[in-house]
Structure 1
Amino acid sequence: MRIISIANQKGGVAKTTTTINLGASLSSLGKKVLLIDLDPQAHTTLGLGIEPDNLSKTMLNVLEPYRSKDKLKLEEIIINLKVGGGENLFLAPTNIDFASAEYKLIDQIGREDFLGASIRECKIPFDYIIIDCPPSLGILTVNALKACNEVIIPMQPHYFALRGIQEFMETAEIVRRNLNHHLKINILITIAEIKNNLAQEVIAEIKQYFSDKLLKNIIRKNITLVEASSQGVPALYYSPNSHGAIDYYKLAQEVISFEKEEISAGI
């Protein structure tokens, strides 16, 4: 099982869009995928057509302290989305109440591993778990980094974004050192206006500095991605021939190709 966190402390870089559309594309390629909404804004939940205010069981229950009467196992809150006529895509949802999770975890022993423990104890087997992180570097994001073995950092091709990436990678290194945890880090360029000269300059600079971490596929700016989320479905099932759907499908193929590389390398 591969666990991938979609993380960046900066908002508006397509973390949720990437979570939804990468997950849907992986599921369409035959992978059994669980999306975990770890952001109190609940945008992944909303973007998949689930009304957060109507939920009685969410990730808040999963991350409750062990002695809490409200604590649930991860498999008890999972929703089978059944999008596109398939049954390979699942969601662990959240809602605005999840904003209290940081405070509930702050004084708990082993708080950095509450999410990881719930995943390890889950009895439903998945090929991929993809975690949508909040736009911060708090305890929820640290939980996601501790639980996963890979991180995808979405970033727009803007100069200021380069500094933010450096800050996030420093945090990931702290997690690796302090929690004795290995993280594979990949950078994904998103919302790219590839015909824009300035964007091309920034992309060239990103390739220069992060060539070993940069994913080959670039997610172009595409209104279909926004429209699909507003309709509560992934772009692949809203407009399969759109640039957005095609870009994320190719990204899913690239992510899957890493499995073959690991096998050939004997990992």
Structure 2
Amino acid sequence: MEVITIGNHKGGTGKTATSLHIGAVFGLIGYKTLLIDLDPQGFLTRMMGVDTNSVVDTSLRLFDVDTSLAQLETVPLPSFHLLPSSEGMRTREKKLTSTIDLFLVKEALRGQDLYDVIILDTAAALSSYVLNALVTADTLMIPVTPELQSVHGAEQTWQSARTVQGRLNPGLKRLMFLLTNV
């Protein structure tokens, strides 16, 4: 299983579109692919037309202790599955305060064999959700637009990732930039 986190501390860089397109490509070429919407605003979930009131599970469940991905029901879409975001993520984040909380997603995904590729779509902020995504990732892809603020956000994201790589996730093997909106 490969876990790819898509993130940039700056908004408007194409994180969600990148997550969607990369996930679709992996699915179309035959990889069992899961996209997890870790953005409390739920842009990926809305882009896919998923009504969170009609789903059994959301990505918020990943932050319950002792939850395994195998226990969760994902939403099947044409080329991948989606674990949608939830409105409850906004309030739950305030409760994720301990160091162990940074490993909840990693633990929930541990040992799963349902998917070949898991893509974590993140919000434009350094949050407990973004840190969980970095701690879980094998690869970080940082979408960056050719604008100064986007480049600054990408630099901050890179530094955060290097810190996580050194202290919490030595398995974060690849950090890369993806130029978008060109």
> Which TM-score applies when normalising by structure 2?
0.91
Shift of 1:100: 2.2
Please name the residue that 1:92 is paired with. 83
The answer to whether the 8 Å contact 1:77/1:93 transfers is: no
Instruction: Please report the RMSD computed on the Cα atoms of aligned residues, expressed in angstroms.
Output: 1.7
| Aligned mate of 2:94, from 78, 103, 125 | 103
What secondary structure sits across from 2:88 in the alignment? helix
The answer to whether the 8 Å contact 1:23/1:89 transfers is: yes
Counterparts in 2 of 1:1-267, with a 5 A limit?
1-66=1-66, 72-75=67-70, 76-81=72-77, 83=78, 88-107=79-98, 110-124=100-114, 126-183=115-172, 184-192=174-182
Shift of 1:123: 4.8
Deviations 1:148-184 (A, max 9, x none): 1100000111133222221111111111122152421
The answer to whether the 8 Å contact 1:34/1:89 transfers is: yes
Shift of 1:12: 0.9
Shift of 1:191: 1.2
Q: Counterparts of 2:14 and 2:113 in 1: how far apart (Å)?
A: 30
What secondary structure sits across from 2:107 in the alignment? helix
Shift of 1:190: 0.8
Matched letter for residue 190 of structure 1: T
Decide which structure has greater strand share.
2
The answer to whether the 8 Å contact 1:79/1:90 transfers is: yes
Q: Counterparts of 2:145 and 2:22 in 1: how far apart (Å)?
A: 17
> Which TM-score applies when normalising by structure 1?
0.63
What secondary structure sits across from 2:154 in the alignment? helix
Shift of 1:56: 4.2
Shift in alpha-carbon separation, 1:155–1:180, aligned structure 2, 3 A: closer
The answer to whether the 8 Å contact 2:137/2:171 transfers is: no
Shift of 1:121: 4.3
Aligned residue pairs, count: 180
Structure 2, unmatched stretches of 5+, are none
The answer to whether the 8 Å contact 2:13/2:150 transfers is: no
Structure (1 or 2) with the larger CA radius of gyration? 1
Structure 1, unmatched stretches of 5+, are 67-71, 193-267
Identity of aligned residues (%): 29
Q: Counterparts of 1:52 and 1:27 in 2: how far apart (Å)?
A: 22
Matched letter for residue 20 of structure 2: I
Decide which structure has greater helix share.
1
Shift of 1:58: 1.1
The answer to whether the 8 Å contact 1:154/1:189 transfers is: yes
